[in-house]
Chain A
Amino acid sequence: MASDIYPTSDMDQGLSGPVVINRPMKGLPSLNLHELWIYRYLLFYIVRRDIVVRYKQTVFGISWAAINPLITMVVFSFVFGALLNVDTSGVPYPLFSLAALVPWAMFAKGLSNSSVSIQSNSNIITKIYFPRIIAPISAFTNSFIDFVVSLAVLLLMILGYVLLAPDLIGVVPPDATPEVIEAASQVRIFGPGPVAILMLPLFILLVVMFGLGLGFWFSALQVRMRDINYIIPFVLQIGQYVTPVAYASNMIETLSGAGGEVWQFLYGLNPMVTAIDGFRWAFFNLDFSPVPTIIASVSMCLFVFFSGLYFFRYSESKFVDYL
């Protein structure tokens, strides 16, 4: 809100809450992020509520978080892997696509949930004050929890390949012939070593910040323009094509030819490109995005996140008038 909330001063000792001045907003809003800390329990309980409600009376419960990307993986493996024979630089297609589907599912679910989060929490938003930004954040946190579950499944899949078909993913047996070693040299599971594990949180952060930033924008706009409800499916559908979920990002490089760096930059304006390249690099030692792509992705991500945060804060004082 644009209201000023002061912590209790010496004059107000003994109060269990702050002094609140509610007045029309003038000028630029302050981000007031410390408020989030004060309301952390609320965030926790809203996240918990959404998880409990989502999986109540389901047979599979939270396993759905893993089943979804797994089913898509099977379909993709058939269409893009077996039929179209997409070049994966030697990585088995199921692993190749699952490594992208896991972060993509977090982004897609998080974005579509957080975009309607103000409306879906309208029964409490119109009656009780709390920092409204908790609504999109809790919606995204939910998909983050699903992500953690599906990430574990991805690791299990990799482990399965290591145990059952090591030659397919570049785990070289001690008695290997030179040909096998040669074939395995490109794909090495966790090829970059410990660096990969350290970098993975950065790629996850890229997805979270970009998805949440878009979620801030969409949820604030959705209060006034319910058109957002109809736009989101398109955004996600088109998004999945411009993101290397089913294919490898280096296919863009081969397309671009002359002026390749400009194309790489434009392609990178979708931060999911760098994030997914990052996942595949960390797990399978595939080529990481070229520098122009990385620069575009990181700056786009930061721009969307901070502008979204600011736009949300700017619009939230009028939410209840439109709900």
Chain B
Amino acid sequence: MSQYVIETHDLSKQYRIGSLLKPKKTKEYLTDLFFEPVRRVRSTLVGGVPTNAEQIFWALQDVNFAVKPGESFGIIGVNGSGKSTLLKILANVVQPTRGYSVTRGRIGTMLEVGAAINPEMTGRENIYLSGVILGMKVDEVEKRFDEIVDFAGIEAFLETPLKRYSSGMRMRLAFSVAAHVEPEIMIIDEVLAVGDLGFLEKSLNKIRSLSKNGITVLLVSHIPYLITDLCQSAMWLHDGQVKEMGTAEGISQQYQKYLQERDGISDNSPFVVAKADAAAVTDAEIIAEVASVDSPSQVNQDISQTP
């Protein structure tokens, strides 16, 4: 066996975009009332073959990387670069089209925390439910219950249904459960834009302490500062391919330079804090600022960029 906790070998994922059909004429709408279901049933049973190459989209192409035990590895890239697809393959949720990935040990995921919670159930019930869904055994949830409640700061609301919680409290509970799974590998995807500043700071410290305790952390973000701060090495994904791989600091700087050139962002933008002397401000303030500036504009740019 090998010394890596995570390995990928020529990992590729293909998606089909749009439908199998050409644009329709009015007459065809009527004939399709009959033929469309037939075609769909056939493509479901036989496996649909895309009619032309433009309808194929490679979300990931030949991604190779490996992470050593205890390492914190960052993945950076613009929206739509394949980061989330990669994480979903590593989490064994999506199957690759080509190549394969190997993970050794229990995987904890913080992919959009809160997926596992249920608004009708109480705080206590939700801690058990999402703990078990996230891969803990019942006695592990029991053992860490107080810690989880304490971290989320929801002691007074344990018997209240989650739908009566504020959205911040809900996210705190979800994050807290996810952070206490104690897996071998922790996969974190853009979850840090939630909660108030104090909780953000606490979350970052928790992630640092996870990696100090020997847990391999895989962090996905498009905020360079976070990658530099929390990771040792990093990978830059672009259009589903590995653009650069190296130290977290080097990759962040390269990525930042790319963003600045692409978007014409000046040196005093929040993007640049990774380089600047950030000692005076807290992590949380920087991230809050970056996140608020970053997200909306970037979404727009990515849409307009798509060919």
How far is B105's CA from A18's CA once the two chains are assembled, in angstroms? Answer: 5
User: A1-19 CB contact bits vs B (8 Å, 1 = yes)?
Assistant: 1110000110110011111
Known A24-B95, A320-B93; judge A17-B44 contact (CB<8 A). no
Query: Which residue of chain A has its CB nearest to the CB of B136?
Result: A41
B112 at the interface (CB under 8 A from A): yes
How far is B120's CA from A45's CA once the two chains are assembled, in angstroms? Answer: 14
> Which residues from chain A contact B1 at a C-beta distance below 8 Å?
9, 11-12
A128 at the interface (CB under 8 A from B): yes
**Closest Cβ–Cβ distance, residue B39 to chain A (whole Å):** 12
Q: Which of B90, B105, B106, B129 contacts A22 (CB 8 A)?
A: B90
B89 at the interface (CB under 8 A from A): yes
> Which residues from chain A contact B128 at a C-beta distance below 8 Å?
45
**Closest Cβ–Cβ distance, residue B106 to chain A (whole Å):** 3
> Once A and B bind, how many residue pairs between them come within 8 Å at the CB atom?
126
Q: Which of A3, A18, A56 contacts B95 (CB 8 A)?
A: A3
In the complex, chain B residues 158-185 whose Cβ is within 8 Å of any chain A Cβ: 161, 182-184
How far is B134's CA from A56's CA once the two chains are assembled, in angstroms? Answer: 24
Which candidate, A119-127, A182-190, A252-260, A263-271, is the interface stretch facing chain B? A119-127
**Closest Cβ–Cβ distance, residue A135 to chain B (whole Å):** 12
Q: Report whether A124 and B99 are in contact in the complex, using a CB–CB cutoff of 8 Å.
A: no
How far is B41's CA from A49's CA once the two chains are assembled, in angstroms? Answer: 34
User: B87-108 CB contact bits vs A (8 Å, 1 = yes)?
Assistant: 0111111111111111111110
In the complex, chain A residues 21-43 whose Cβ is within 8 Å of any chain B Cβ: 21-25, 41-42
B20 at the interface (CB under 8 A from A): no
**Closest Cβ–Cβ distance, residue B97 to chain A (whole Å):** 6
A71 at the interface (CB under 8 A from B): no
> Which residues from chain A contact B288 at a C-beta distance below 8 Å?
none
Q: Report whether B125 and A52 are in contact in the complex, using a CB–CB cutoff of 8 Å.
A: yes
The interface size of chain B toward A, counting residues with CB under 8 Å, comes to 47
Query: Which residue of chain B has its CB nearest to the CB of A5?
Result: B92
Q: Report whether A16 and B106 are in contact in the complex, using a CB–CB cutoff of 8 Å.
A: yes
Q: Report whether A123 and B115 are in contact in the complex, using a CB–CB cutoff of 8 Å.
A: yes
> Which residues from chain A contact B129 at a C-beta distance below 8 Å?
45, 48-49
B40 at the interface (CB under 8 A from A): yes
B70 at the interface (CB under 8 A from A): no
A53 at the interface (CB under 8 A from B): yes
Query: Which residue of chain B has its CB nearest to the CB of A53?
Result: B120
Q: Which of B88, B93, B116, B184 contacts A16 (CB 8 A)?
A: B184
Q: Report whether B92 and A1 are in contact in the complex, using a CB–CB cutoff of 8 Å.
A: yes
Query: Which residue of chain B has its CB nearest to the CB of A2?
Result: B95
Q: Which of B116, B120, B184 contacts A124 (CB 8 A)?
A: B116
A74 at the interface (CB under 8 A from B): no
A80 at the interface (CB under 8 A from B): no
How far is B129's CA from A42's CA once the two chains are assembled, in angstroms? Answer: 8
Q: Report whether A128 and B96 are in contact in the complex, using a CB–CB cutoff of 8 Å.
A: no
B79 at the interface (CB under 8 A from A): no
How far is B149's CA from A4's CA once the two chains are assembled, in angstroms? Answer: 36
> Which residues from chain B contact A16 at a C-beta distance below 8 Å?
105-106, 182-184
Q: Which of A21, A24, A126, A130 contacts B133 (CB 8 A)?
A: A130
How far is B41's CA from A11's CA once the two chains are assembled, in angstroms? Answer: 47
How far is B88's CA from A227's CA once the two chains are assembled, in angstroms? Answer: 28
B61 at the interface (CB under 8 A from A): no
Known A22-B101, A52-B120, A52-B121; judge A17-B134 contact (CB<8 A). no
Q: Report whether B95 and A12 are in contact in the complex, using a CB–CB cutoff of 8 Å.
A: no
Q: Report whether B132 and A225 are in contact in the complex, using a CB–CB cutoff of 8 Å.
A: no
**Closest Cβ–Cβ distance, residue B109 to chain A (whole Å):** 6
How far is B222's CA from A245's CA once the two chains are assembled, in angstroms? Answer: 60
> Which residues from chain A contact B111 at a C-beta distance below 8 Å?
127-128
Q: Report whether B132 and A41 are in contact in the complex, using a CB–CB cutoff of 8 Å.
A: yes
**Closest Cβ–Cβ distance, residue B43 to chain A (whole Å):** 9
B144 at the interface (CB under 8 A from A): no
How far is B89's CA from A21's CA once the two chains are assembled, in angstroms? Answer: 10
Q: Report whether B184 and A15 are in contact in the complex, using a CB–CB cutoff of 8 Å.
A: yes
How far is B104's CA from A19's CA once the two chains are assembled, in angstroms? Answer: 4
Q: Report whether B93 and A128 are in contact in the complex, using a CB–CB cutoff of 8 Å.
A: yes
Query: Which residue of chain A has its CB nearest to the CB of B89?
Result: A22
Q: Which of A2, A42, A52, A125 contacts B132 (CB 8 A)?
A: A42
Q: Which of A3, A17, A46, A126 contacts B183 (CB 8 A)?
A: A17
> Which residues from chain B contact A21 at a C-beta distance below 8 Å?
100-102
Q: Which of B44, B96, B115 contacts A127 (CB 8 A)?
A: B115
Q: Report whether A24 and B89 are in contact in the complex, using a CB–CB cutoff of 8 Å.
A: no
Q: Report whether A49 and B115 are in contact in the complex, using a CB–CB cutoff of 8 Å.
A: no
How far is B116's CA from A49's CA once the two chains are assembled, in angstroms? Answer: 11
B137 at the interface (CB under 8 A from A): yes
A129 at the interface (CB under 8 A from B): yes
Q: Report whether B125 and A42 are in contact in the complex, using a CB–CB cutoff of 8 Å.
A: no
How far is B136's CA from A42's CA once the two chains are assembled, in angstroms? Answer: 9
> Which residues from chain B contact A224 at a C-beta distance below 8 Å?
44
B135 at the interface (CB under 8 A from A): yes
**Closest Cβ–Cβ distance, residue A238 to chain B (whole Å):** 20
B15 at the interface (CB under 8 A from A): yes
**Closest Cβ–Cβ distance, residue A19 to chain B (whole Å):** 5
Q: Report whether A45 and B132 are in contact in the complex, using a CB–CB cutoff of 8 Å.
A: yes
User: A48-71 CB contact bits vs B (8 Å, 1 = yes)?
Assistant: 110011001000000000000000
10 sampled A-B residue pairs with Cβ under 8 A: A18-B106, A19-B104, A19-B105, A24-B100, A42-B132, A49-B129, A53-B120, A128-B133, A225-B41, A227-B37
* Additional pairs, 4, CB under 8 Å, beyond known A23-B99, A53-B118: A19-B102, A21-B100, A22-B102, A126-B93
